[in-house]
Amino acid sequence: MKRIALLGMPNTGKSTLFNRISGASARVGNWPGITVDLMSAKILLGGHIVELVDLPGIYDLHGFSDDEQVVRHFIEQNEIDLVMLTLNTSQLDRQLSLALQVRNLGLPTLLILNMADEARRSGVTVDVASMSVQLGMPVAMLSAKYGEGCQEALITAAATMNRSPHPAPEQLRAHLQTDDLIEREMDAIMASSVQMPMQMNDALSAKIDRIVLHPWLGLPIFFAALYVLFQFIFTAGQPLQNGVAWILGYVRGGMLEPWLANAPPWLHGLLLDGIYNGVGTVAAFVPLIVLFFLVMTMVEDSGYLSRAAFLTDALMAKMGLDGRGFVMLLMGFGCNVPALMGTRVMRSRPLRLLTMLVIPFSLCSARLQVFVFMIAALFTPNQAPVILLALYVMSFLATFTTALLFKGQFQNNEPFLLELPPYRFPTTRQIVMRGWHEVSHFLRRATKFIVIGVVLVWALTHFPGDVPPASSYTLAGMIGNALAPILTPIGIDGKLAIALIFGFVAKEIVIGSLAVIYGLSGDPLMQLIGQKLDWVQGFSFMLFTLIYTPCLSAIATLRNESKSNAFMWLSILWSLALAWVVSFVFYQSARLLGY
């Protein structure tokens, strides 16, 4: 099987091109360093089945960041039939050096000049034929975002791949050229092949930036925008959520209960009160998760999050972090795992470790599902966006507190460089593909963990079989009683404790666990929670869920990325301790104030 390596600098639309060619759903975002792992897909090209590999974005083949080392090792250790090198046409004066470095490796290469649509709007013109001759490689201009020129580029790729020999590994390491020579050759190619205006035409981005990057108004605008987005998600998602809940109730009452009417009581309880209630309760909130990811896709791809990183860099620097750390926290809104992997773009190990220590406090989509449920059960629709925004603020406060306390142990002197891309509105295709990628990832995790989790919770709450289900005499009750001295001071009872224990595996199990414990799902479960808990207990529970140990997948990723068991245990124990202290202070203070 032939292999094509898709290589390029960050923020050149490389992963967009990968998705365009393969139809796959690599994560795409409008800030540097978003590709954090090796995505691959099989495509048919030139009569061959070809493996297309999307490599991490890099600035330099001679760099020392983890991503740059990943690319070098991949090139040296794998047979590559073609490199598709992707550059931003509007930034060739800063990016063409990478093309010269790749050419000097002797690998068959097709140079992709992406974002041709933006280049035209900015007044950039390229003599493709002249550049191709001077570089000694074919050059294709295209727009991966709109598909313009993609088919022609693939035809060129197939022809280049079929006629070019593959160099031996020792040849790859032998082709060297000094930076001075590369710079002189790049200047010569730019002078003869590229015409760029004296000042790039990006007036709209400049006008917007004068507002959103205002030193005093920038951050309030950012948090106000988050509030508006949350308000939209709750408002638009409520009818969809009610519709899914109605369907689930109809399926249970009209189909499953008659079908299982003669089943043994234990099987009836396991299938309906256990698996169906647990999975169904999670499924009822999928519409809100879908809306959340669709909205965040537009925000991420617009370029606004790069501005958020710029705005927060000065604040983050005081805590030993930088603006990239803020971007990773925002990435963690979807899932902590890719955010942890995204720290590979940082060259400084202390900076990486400190960033990885704070990322698990990001309010990920699994926690979001728990909070949406609890907020709907305990607060009014008008209060809901405020409470959710408060949880996001607490997420940042936990991050900042941790960074301040530990920055002395993880000192960093690496400078922060970030290029602000122009504002872009993603296409419908990009929004749908990214949204589907995130939702399918959520559903795969939910399917894998929730079914197993709710079965185990059902067993704990129904054994021994000669005692009332979910009582203090069951296995679950015994565990809850054992944890009572620790959790009672923060308002968490034994049944909530069981849900938190299973939340160690995956936060998606928490609400499914409550459905099994109480034997209810949907609106009846929310009503019961609203009766058994007051808002102080509910908010304390959400604070603990927000801060305490992340899921097993995140813990495993943190261990793999840090390569340190001691650091992994530091993260686990610190998050548990901080969660308890924050919940304790809130709960006891609220009770003292008479709530």
Burial environment of residue 148 by CB neighbours within 10 A (0 to 12, 13 to 18, 19 or more): middle
Phi-psi region of 41 (alpha: psi -120 to 50; beta: other; left: phi over 0): beta
Residue-wise DSSP of 128-180: HHHHHHHHTS-EEE-BTTTTBTHHHHHHHHHHHHHHPPPPPHHHHHH----HH
In this prediction the pTM is 0.73
Give residue 164's pLDDT. Answer: 60
d(CA 433, CA 436): 5
- One digit per residue, the tens of pLDDT, for the chain of length 595 reads 899 999 998 889 888 899 888 875 444 444 445 454 577 888 899 888 899 998 888 888 877 666 777 788 888 888 899 999 999 999 999 899 999 999 988 889 999 999 999 899 888 999 999 999 999 999 999 999 899 999 999 999 999 987 766 665 555 554 556 778 888 999 999 999 999 886 666 677 788 888 888 888 888 898 888 788 878 877 888 788 788 888 988 898 889 989 988 888 888 888 887 788 877 777 776 777 778 777 877 877 788 877 887 888 878 888 888 877 887 887 788 778 878 877 877 778 899 999 999 999 999 888 988 999 999 999 998 899 999 999 999 999 999 999 999 999 998 776 666 667 778 777 887 777 767 776 776 666 666 667 777 788 888 888 887 888 778 888 888 988 899 899 999 999 988 998 898 888 778 788 888 888 888 877 888 899 999 999 999 999 999 999 998 888 888 889 888 989 999 999 999 999 999 999 999 999 999 999 9
Q: Are 284 and 244 in contact (CB under 8 A)?
A: yes
Tell me, what DSSP letter sits at residue 256?
I
Residue 57 DSSP one-character state: P
In the chain, the amino acid numbered 179 is: D
For residue 523, how far is the Cα from the chain centroid?
30
Q: Which residue has the tokens 């256990």?
A: 274
CATH of 2-195, one of 2.90.10.10, 3.40.50.300, 3.40.1710.10, 3.90.1150.10: 3.40.50.300
Q: What would the 3-class secondary structure string for 26-50 be?
A: CCCCCCCCCCCCCEEEEEEECCEEE
Tokens 């925004």 map to which residue?
A: 389
Q: Which DSSP symbol is given to 108?
A: -
Contact 89, 114 (CB under 8 A): yes
Domain boundaries, the chain: 2-195, 218-412+435-592
**Residue 200, CB half-sphere, CA atoms under 13 Å: how many?**
15
C-beta of residue 36 within 8 angstroms of C-beta of residue 344: yes
CA distances from 67 to 62, 159, 347, 369, 378 (A): 11, 30, 9, 32, 45
Contact 33, 324 (CB under 8 A): yes
